């Protein structure tokens, strides 16, 4: 799907810029969670300051949660948290379903793209044309996916009923507990 996202939006300079920025950050040595946060934030939250506290809070999500290699990819988790930052509620008067519904839509896009959200399984593939490493490709694709979805929500303005109906179908995704995690760079 990513190739189709980039190809179908080849004239979208914004998505190309997100992809390039994300790849650059990865090449500088940032982990997946840090890369996606830093790469996407200026495009979807330009009016908000990306604080050191937010950056530090996101960092442990790398490598399949806490560098365990055995859970969800930072490309998924950080995207979901960014949806929360944009659409989440701050009190009981806010819509308690909006952010979670959009997060389900993103999760479904992520699964459509990669077929899994499990870090070890994602990293086992070959790199694509987006970056020199498999993780770099995942980061670039994730950054474009989250930016594309959030841009579409803002542009198309689906009804709240439609948004609340968005689901994620994980029945074809391998169970995370059945995957033997690879060693993280922390263990090597």
How is the chain split into domains, by residue range? 2-169
Q: Does residue 15 carry a pLDDT above 50? A: yes
Please compute the mean of the pLDDT values over residues 56-71 and round it to a whole number. 84
pLDDT, tens digit, 9 for 90 and up, residues 115-150: 998 888 888 878 888 888 889 999 999 999 999 999
φ and ψ at 22, to 5 degrees?
A: -65, -45
Question: Residue 184 — very low, low, confident or very high, per pLDDT cuts 50/70/90?
Answer: low
Residues 6+ apart with CB under 8 A from 70: 64, 118, 119, 120, 176, 179, 181
CA angle (7 as vertex; 72, 20 as ends), nearest 5: 60
Residues 6+ apart with CB under 8 A from 23: 130, 131, 136, 139, 140
- For residue 178, the model assigns a pLDDT of 67
Please compute the mean of the pLDDT values over residues 103-120 and round it to a whole number. 93
- For residue 182, the model assigns a pLDDT of 64
- Give the CA radius of gyration of the chain: 16
Higher pLDDT pick, 171 / 46? 46
Q: Does residue 188 carry a pLDDT above 70? A: no
Q: Does residue 7 carry a pLDDT above 50? A: no
Mean pLDDT of the residues in the chain: 87
Beta-carbon neighbour count of residue 171 at 10 Å? 4
CB 65, CB 132: distance < 8 Å: no
Please compute the mean of the pLDDT values over residues 155-175 and round it to a whole number. 91
What percentage of the chain reaches a pLDDT higher than 70? 87
pTM for this prediction: 0.86
């Amino acid at each position: 799907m990513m190739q189709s996202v980039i190809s179908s939006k080849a004239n979208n300079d914004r998505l190309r810029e997100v992809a390039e920025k994300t790849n650059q950050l990865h090449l500088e040595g940032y982990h997946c969670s840090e890369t996606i946060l830093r790469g996407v934030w200026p495009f979807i939250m330009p009016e908000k300051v990306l604080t050191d506290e937010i950056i530090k809070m996101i960092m442990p999500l790398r490598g399949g949660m806490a560098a365990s290699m055995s859970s969800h990819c930072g490309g998924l988790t950080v995207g979901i948290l960014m949806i929360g930052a944009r659409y989440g509620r701050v009190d009981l008067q806010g819509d308690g379903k909006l952010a979670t519904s959009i997060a389900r839509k993103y999760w479904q896009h992520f699964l459509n793209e990669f077929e899994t959200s499990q870090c070890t399984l994602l990293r086992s593939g070959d790199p694509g044309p987006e970056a020199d490493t498999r993780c770099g490709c995942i980061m670039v694709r994730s950054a474009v996916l989250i930016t594309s979805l959030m841009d579409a929500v803002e542009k198309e303005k689906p009804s709240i009923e439609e948004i609340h109906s968005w689901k994620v179908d994980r029945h074809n995704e391998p169970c995370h507990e059945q995957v033997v995690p690879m060693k993280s760079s922390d263990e090597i």
